[in-house]
Chains A and B, each alone.
Chain A
Amino acid sequence: MSICGTFKTTDVSTNDVDNVVAIYQATVPAPVRVDKKQDAPNSWTVTAVWPPCPQNTSHSTNNST
């Protein structure tokens, strides 16, 4: 199996957010996209998305399955 689905890092400081984005982007295989979103002053969430996991497997950060 390979990396699939969505991974998030929350509560990232403004100082560290670009480093977190860079590490996600440098992953092999590369993610489809990496987004950063500010939740509060000095608190960011970085979301990295890979292709969906094979059918019947979890690929959500809501980890419902």
Chain B
Amino acid sequence: MPPHFQTGHIVTAFLAIAGIVAACAPLHGYPDDPEDTTATLAALAPYFDPAVDKTYNAMPADVPPGTLNRQNYRDLVVMSRMRAYDLEFDSFERRLNGDSNVVALGGDVTLLVLGALTATLGSATTKAALGAASTAVAGAQTAVNKDLYFQKTLPAMLDQMEANRAKAKLPIFQGLTLPDSQYPLVRAEIDLQILKQSGSIPSAISVITKMTSKDNQDAQAKLAPLRSLRFSTSSTSQRIMAWLLPGGKVDSSNMARLQQWMKQDTEDPRLQDMPPMQLLNENEDLEADRARAITALHIP
């Protein structure tokens, strides 16, 4: 292949890749923000200055009406900081959404194009270079796939972060209705610190983990009475047992179907976490469960 032809192909190939990646520009899921948040944050910066506390403490509690007093100043500082935290959280939320989308889409397509080019184009050197690029993208994709869990759980985490922030804002708004003597700036600063932390991923994960742990505890508590049961000789038990053990040996296909049904049954969620043998034992609720299983699985 003539060298100029190779070069032309390579340039075309990289333009194609660039075009495809550009076509995969992230759809952030948010409308454009007309506000210049950088400028707004810069304007709010003075309210984070340590000198604020000094100014606040130097102010008299009681001043003539219409004059900036300590409580007015507290409200101004607190609301300004909350505004800044809101803007930063909004930006953080947008970045989390946008970044996870662009890596997944762009990486997939780039990898396909690079792989195809390596197979069809140019000299050994060109192929080696493209192959190396392909491997690099594949490596990046492996990392992305490891982050798949993160990406899939992102909406739940964002929901939790928003819920945590709303919860953290409540005592601040309540505090601002109180006079300065009952809700001084230093107390508000403690609440603001909680608000700042409540918009973080670790904070969201912590709450979700606690909720999951509670769900597990509840599920186990409901399962406890079914852990030790008497063997049942009811007709439903005997029918299922005969179906599971045709000729005295376990039919693994029927066993898998029964377990699948138990996992998907919505009427008795306890079935999801128990072995099929427990379903065949003596218990009034399980008798009803067996009847449903017989119908659903057409057990003779």
- Residue in A closest to B275 when the chains form the complex, CB atoms: A27
Given the complex, which residues of B lie within 8 Å of A13, measured CB to CB? 231
Chain A: residues with Cβ within 8 Å of the partner, total of 37
Residues of B close to A28: CB separation below 8 A: 255-256, 259
What string of 1s and 0s marks CB contacts (under 8 Å) between B68-93 and chain A? 00000000000000000000000000
The interface residues of chain A lying within 8 Å CB-to-CB of B255 are 23, 26-28
Query: Which size bracket describes the interface of B in this complex?
Result: 20 to 34
Q: Which residues in A have their C-beta under 8 angstroms from that of B228?
A: 7-8, 10, 61, 63
**Measured between alpha carbons, how far is A53 from B220 in the docked complex, in Å?**
8
Task: Assess whether B241 is interfacial by the CB under 8 Å rule.
Answer: yes
Contacts of B230 in A (CB 8 A): 9-11
- Write the A1-36 contact mask toward B (1 if CB under 8 angstroms, else 0): 111111111111100100110111111100100000
How many residue-residue contacts, CB under 8 A, span A and B? 100
Provide the residues of chain A in CB contact with B281, threshold 8 Å: 9
In the complex, what's the smallest C-beta–C-beta distance from B250 to chain A, in angstroms? Answer: 4
Does B182 interact with chain A (Cβ within 8 Å)?
no
A56 to B277, CA, bound (A): 25
A23 touches B274 (CB 8 A): no
A22, B274: Cα distance in complex, Å: 16
| Bound Cα distance from A24 to B275, whole angstroms | 7
Task: Give the docked Cα–Cα distance between A11 and B281 (Å).
Answer: 10
With an 8 A cutoff between CB atoms, is B216 at the interface? Answer: yes
19 residue pairs from A and B, CB less than 8 Å apart: A1-B216, A4-B273, A6-B227, A9-B230, A10-B231, A23-B250, A23-B276, A23-B280, A27-B255, A27-B276, A27-B277, A28-B256, A46-B277, A48-B277, A50-B275, A53-B220, A56-B217, A57-B216, A58-B227
Mark A residues whose CB is within 8 Å of B: 1-13, 16, 19-20, 22-28, 31, 46, 48, 50, 53-54, 56-61, 63, 65
